[in-house]
A = this chain, B = another copy of it.
Amino acid sequence: MQIAAVVGSCVSTIKNERMVGMKLLIVREATVEGEILGEPYVAVDTVDAGQGDLVLVSHGSGSRQTVQTLDRSVDATIVGVIELLEIGRRNTYEAR
């Protein structure tokens, strides 16, 4: 799963019926310190994540293995909010 930061949100009213009723957030890949690395993309939120949270994003068919995304036409889902990242014995990130 990718380490990513929630940076914004996406509104889409004209969409496929398999996209209706899902909360769409804009995320970017992040380092273990929470610094942003990658280009923005859109992921479905299944854990009530918020702006600034560091999250775990599951890509591909794994993104549809949740109650909220089953059989949906999605390819990226936020599946967890990260509390703590530890590299070696050092905490590199702790959620506030």
**Residue ranges of A at the interface with B (Cβ–Cβ < 8 Å):** 1-3, 7-19, 24, 26, 29, 31-32, 37, 39-43, 46-48, 51, 56, 58-67, 69, 71-77, 79-88, 92
Q: Are A8 and B75 CB-contacts (below 8 A) given A31-B39, A42-B56, A80-B16? A: no
A12 touches B56 (CB 8 A): yes
A-B contact pairs, 23 of them (CB 8 A): A1-B75, A3-B26, A7-B87, A7-B88, A8-B88, A9-B85, A11-B83, A11-B86, A12-B56, A12-B80, A15-B80, A15-B81, A16-B47, A19-B56, A26-B32, A26-B87, A32-B40, A51-B88, A61-B62, A62-B73, A64-B73, A65-B74, A66-B73
